[in-house]
Amino acid sequence: MDEEDDANLFRRAMTGVRELKASPRISPRTQSPVPTPQQRHADDRRVLQEMLAEPDPEWLEHGETLLYRAEGLAESVLRSLRRGHYRVTRELDLHGLNRTQALSCVHQFLDECRAERAHCVRIIHGKGNRSPNSGPILKTLLDRWLRRRNDVLAFCSARPVDGGTGAVYVLLRSR
C-alpha cells in the first residue's frame, strides 16, 4: 500500500507539469575542449630561443679561450660572464706593449678598477698574430697574472663582438 500511495502522491504532484523539449543551443552531449599541451609549447619556444641565441664563445673558439673561476664561485656567475651579461665599465688595451710594460699596466689598471669599484672590466691582449711560433705571448702571460691575483673572481675570453679570443672579461671582487 505504501508503494501505491507514493505513486498516487507523485502523480498528483506532477499534475500540470509538462515535459521540456531540448533546446538546440544546449546539447547535453557537448564535447569538452581538446586540452592544449601548454608546457610542451613553452618547452618548444625555449628550445627555439636557445637555438637562435648567440652561440657560446667556447663552442666557436675551442682551444684558444681563456677560462678561470675562483674556488667557491658559482658556475652560473662564470656562465653569465662568458655570455656578456655583466656591464663592462673599464677597458685596457695592451697592444704594442712588451711583457714588462704589460705587467705594470695590468696591475695598475686592476688596482684603479678596485679603487673605483668597477666589477667587470675588459683587457684586450690581442691574438698574437705577429708573435713568433711560440703563440700569443701576452695572452699566455695575462692568464698567469690574473690567476695569481686575489681580487680576480673569474675571467674568460670575450664574446666575438668584444674581441673574442683577443680579449678577456675580468670579474673583480668587491672591496
Per-residue confidence (pLDDT) for residue 92, from 0 to 100: 93
| pLDDT: which is higher, 15 or 129 | 15
Average pLDDT for 21-32: 66
Question: Is residue 21 one of the residues assigned to a domain?
Answer: no
pLDDT (mean) for 60-77:
80
**What CATH number has the domain bearing residue 153?**
3.30.1370.110
Number of domains in the chain: 1
Does residue 2 sit within a domain? no
**Higher model confidence: residue 172 or residue 33?**
172
| Average of per-residue pLDDT values in the chain | 83
Residue 152 lies in a domain: yes
Residue-by-residue DSSP string for 55-69: PPHHHHSTTT--EEE
pTM of the predicted model, to two decimals? Answer: 0.62
pLDDT for 59 equals 46
- Cα 48 from Cα 132, distance rounded (Å): 44
Distances (CA, A) of 129 to 59, 94, 98, 134, 139: 21, 14, 15, 11, 11
- Is residue 46 in a domain? no
Range of the domain at 133: 66-172
119 inside domain: yes
Q: Which whole-number Å values give the CA distances from 27 to 15, 18, 32, 34, in the listed order? A: 27, 20, 12, 18
pLDDT in tens, 142-171: 999 999 999 999 999 999 888 888 899 999
Residue 126 pLDDT grade (very low, low, confident, very high; cuts 50, 70, 90): confident
What does the pLDDT average to over 88-107?
A: 90
Q: What is the pLDDT of residue 132?
A: 63
Residues with Cβ within 8 Å of 149's Cβ and at least 6 positions away in sequence, in order, are: 110
